[in-house]
A and B are shown apart, each in its own frame.
Chain A
Amino acid sequence: MRKNPVFLIAILPLLYVLTTFYVPIILMALESLKAGGIQVYTSVLTNKDFTSIILYSAAIAFITTLITLVLAFPAAYYLSFGVENPQTKNKFLVAFTVPMLINFLLRAYALMNILSLVNLTNTIQGMIIGMVYEFLPFMLLPIYSTLERIERRFLEAAETLGAKPWQAVLRITLPLATPGIASGVILVFLMAFTEFVVPGLLGGVYGYTVGYLIWDLFLKYRNWPVGSALAFIVTLTSIFAVYFYTRYGGGND
């Protein structure tokens, strides 16, 4: 095994990820314990300012996720079931994904200009519009790809069993698309939860989210132990969410 070159090829990126992701997390965890050990966690979790910011961020992330889901599912459904020509499909997909290739800061500034035209900068609405815009492709693509894999015969079979088209969508398409919906929801929620660029640029006073708070704790207040503790809590929550998803939600045979 050791002399197998394929092993080497696989181990290098793995090592890279280990050293650049897992090692810093461990360092961060250690950093958080430097001032007073485990107490820093209790103090973070009992700090009303912190918990209200965490809950506020979660609420914003929840709303963002909900809106992206509501927008993305019908679009993905139409793209998968309504567009028959594969070339047209590809054009739509490219249209959705090209913005992702452009630096986000540029796009955020562009969006800022648009929002200022309708007086929505520095509002919650403006911030949510920005986040929905940012995360829409991350919801659309996984849902679209699971929809594409659904055997069209299943819907015909449902129809021959008396199911009207909407009943077939509810009982066949939706359950079979759940893995895609779940991964889109988790992806968007986690990214929205810790996002601070869009809230910072578009949210004004409403943009003070947990991501921003961590940023401030590290760079403004230089309170590394508390910043690390908060970051660690957020990261751990994310890891658990992903774990639970892959363990219970992701498997559809």
Chain B
Amino acid sequence: MVRGVSVRVEDVSKTYKDRGTTTALKSVKLDIRAGELFSILGPSGCGKTTLLRIIAGLLKPDAGRVFFDELDVTDKPAYERPIGMVFQDLALFPHLTVYKNVSFGLEIAGWPKDKAERRVKEVLELVRLPFDVFAHRRISQLSGGQQQRVALARALARDPSVLLLDEPFSHLDYKIRIELIRELKRLQRETGVTMIYVTHDQNEAMMLSDRLAVMYEGVLQQVGSPLEVYTRPANEFVASFLGEANIISVEARGGVAEVKGVKIDLSLFSPELSGYDGRVLLFFRPEDVKLSGDPSRMIQLEAVVIEKTFLGPLTKIVLDGWGDVKFEALAPTRESWGIEVGERVRMYLEPSSVKIFTR
């Protein structure tokens, strides 16, 4: 029952003129595969919701095209696109019951009553809301999580090819959120619908997505699987937005950066950097900082421990004195027992776990 379509966004730009001409999207290109659960991740104001609304047809782009499979839908209004949408504030109709909310799209499409009722039953079951219990309740009689499910059921009732979700879980408790994210993945498997999920929460995006796009200031920064984007961020923004990051600014001369007597040959990271003069950024994840290692092969970080936080299996250690800013290490708690605050320690970095960004 796979009916998702691929969504292709070609050079879409959008400028809001009423707000002192702020550019919301700058020539965004995106290829979302059929049946994929795709997240658009970014801080608030990065243009992710604008992009989603353009895909929905609620907003017209200033330039660029939007395709569903091979069909150019750019000039089609939302009501002519095969979409379902879950809004951030849900936008459930307050004057209608759960049943009427879910059947709204079916009534508009002119489904006969008995067929519509069967479909409402089906989708309510799909989102795990027993028909007999919930169908005739008012929206105000539901909990936040239940309303969420109704919004999903309503969006799925018409059997859309693309399901658009605009931070739908952002105001729910962590536990319910995790539960709904699991449900969403199950729904994607069971229905085969293409899902586009907009969020500012990197954990949600990483848990949920087949692939994700990171957006910042109206520009697409990187597209890839969560693992790809996490381990090989394309730039400084992606690196610091997704997960914890240590970013240390270093002066390089002749392709060699030097921190506290530790020389780092930049050409090892990228051949283009041999002979590079100027500032570079060293990026590495806290979990890649090792408490012991081979000094002949690994980069040595000599610094003072200024903070130690026990997090269960792992311990977070904040260090200062190597490079221009403090940096963090995330070490197995067992190995970090001997380390005390105030102590000068030596830590190690595998060169392969370091990335260099030039500005």
A167/B108 contact (C-beta < 8 A), A159-B79, A176-B95 known: yes
A162, A163, A167, A252 interface centre (most CB from chain B within 10 Å): A162
Q: Indicate if A156 sits at the interface (CB-CB under 8 A).
A: yes
Interface mask (A149-175 → B, CB under 8 Å = 1, otherwise 0):
001011011111111100100011001
A163/B94 contact (C-beta < 8 A), A157-B85, A171-B104 known: no
Q: Are A253 and B140 in contact, with the CB atoms below 8 A?
A: yes
Contacts of A163 in B (CB 8 A): 79, 104-105, 108
Contacts of A151 in B (CB 8 A): 89, 91
Contacts of B84 in A (CB 8 A): 160-161
B7 smallest CB distance to A (angstroms): 15
Contacts of A176 in B (CB 8 A): 94-95
Contacts of A175 in B (CB 8 A): 95
Q: Are B91 and A162 in contact, with the CB atoms below 8 A?
A: no
Q: Indicate if B87 sits at the interface (CB-CB under 8 A).
A: yes
A141 smallest CB distance to B (angstroms): 22
B310 smallest CB distance to A (angstroms): 44
Contacts of B140 in A (CB 8 A): 253
Q: In the complex, which residue of chain B has the Cβ closest to the Cβ of A84?
A: B18
Contacts of B105 in A (CB 8 A): 161-163
Number of interface residues of A (CB under 8 A): 20
A160/B56 contact (C-beta < 8 A), A167-B108, A253-B138 known: yes
Contacts of A84 in B (CB 8 A): 18
Interface mask (B84-119 → A, CB under 8 Å = 1, otherwise 0):
110101011111000000001100110000000000
Contact of A161 among B89, B94, B95, B158 (CB under 8 A): B158
Q: In the complex, which residue of chain B has the Cβ closest to the Cβ of A151?
A: B91
Q: Indicate if B77 sits at the interface (CB-CB under 8 A).
A: yes
Contacts of B57 in A (CB 8 A): 159
A162 smallest CB distance to B (angstroms): 5
Interface mask (A171-187 → B, CB under 8 Å = 1, otherwise 0):
11001100000000000
A161/B154 contact (C-beta < 8 A), A156-B58, A253-B140 known: yes
A169 smallest CB distance to B (angstroms): 13
Distance between Cα atoms of A156 and B105 in the complex (Å): 13
Contacts of A154 in B (CB 8 A): 91, 93
Q: In the complex, which residue of chain B has the Cβ closest to the Cβ of A252?
A: B95
Q: Indicate if B305 sits at the interface (CB-CB under 8 A).
A: no
Q: Indicate if B83 sits at the interface (CB-CB under 8 A).
A: yes
Distance between Cα atoms of A120 and B359 in the complex (Å): 80
Distance between Cα atoms of A162 and B78 in the complex (Å): 7
B96 smallest CB distance to A (angstroms): 8
A174 smallest CB distance to B (angstroms): 10
Distance between Cα atoms of A126 and B233 in the complex (Å): 76
Distance between Cα atoms of A154 and B91 in the complex (Å): 5
Residues of B within 8 A of A (CB): 18, 56-58, 77-79, 83-85, 87, 89, 91-95, 104-105, 108-109, 138, 140, 154-155, 157-158, 164
Residues of A within 8 A of B (CB): 84, 151, 153-154, 156-164, 167, 171-172, 175-176, 252-253
8 pairs of A and B residues whose beta carbons are closest in the complex: A161-B105, A153-B91, A157-B91, A160-B85, A159-B78, A162-B108, A163-B108, A159-B79
Extra A-B contacts (6), CB below 8 Å, given A159-B78, A160-B155: A153-B91, A157-B85, A159-B57, A160-B58, A160-B84, A163-B79
